[in-house]
Amino acid sequence: MAAGEGTVRLRPPNNTLNDRVVGWWRVQWLLLTGVPVVVLAVLGALIGPARTWLLAVAGGLAVLGLLCTAFFPSWWFRVHRWEVTDEAVYVRSGAFWQEWRIAPMSRIQTVDTLRGPLERAFRLATVIVTTASSKGAIKIEGLDHEVAAELAEQLTHITQATPGDAT
């Protein structure tokens, strides 16, 4: 075999997440930082001697939270990719530390969908593909809820038709 023949090159998966995922991630950031900001601000208003530093910390956290809310969700949307073929499930995430997860169909044990309250509000869902890997399940977050249901059904049919013991 000549050099390069029979070699499979890793390529970026084709599919992006649903664009509503950016709003979902932004709301998560706002909740993640908003709750501690409110608690610190209330404590600062109630506790006289510590007022200055509590309000300063609340203000700093609020600014940091707003910056992260504005920047990270858009960035994550650009770098997260997924794809399903007859052979495997591919997921790529991360910008500085890129993570590629590939689950061969013969190794898939379960396929689940998850829709928390915020995901339902944004009409999104997460597909969780569980394998025997010590790294854990592969999650494809930010899918349109109908696409997620179709994907779970597709994966179920493909894995049933794929020989292997899923261990």
Half-sphere exposure of 60 (CA within 13 A, CB side): 6
Q: Read off the tokens for 114.
A: 């998850």
pLDDT tier at 166, thresholds 50, 70, 90: low
At residue 51, does pLDDT exceed 60?
yes
Closest CA to 84 of 146, 22, 159: 159
Helix (H) or strand (E) holding 126: strand 124-131
Q: For residue range 90-131, list pLDDT tens digits in order.
A: 999 987 888 999 988 888 999 999 999 999 999 999 999 998
Range 130-149 average pLDDT: 92
Half-sphere exposure of 85 (CA within 13 A, CB side): 10
User: pLDDT value at position 1?
Assistant: 44
Quote the percentage of the chain above a pLDDT of 70.
92
- Out of 41-50, 124-133, 151-160, pick the least confident: 41-50
pTM metric for this prediction: 0.82
- The domain made up of 82-161 is a member of CATH 3.40.1410.10: no
Helix (H) or strand (E) holding 125: strand 124-131
**CA angle, 119 then 68 then 22, to 5°:** 30
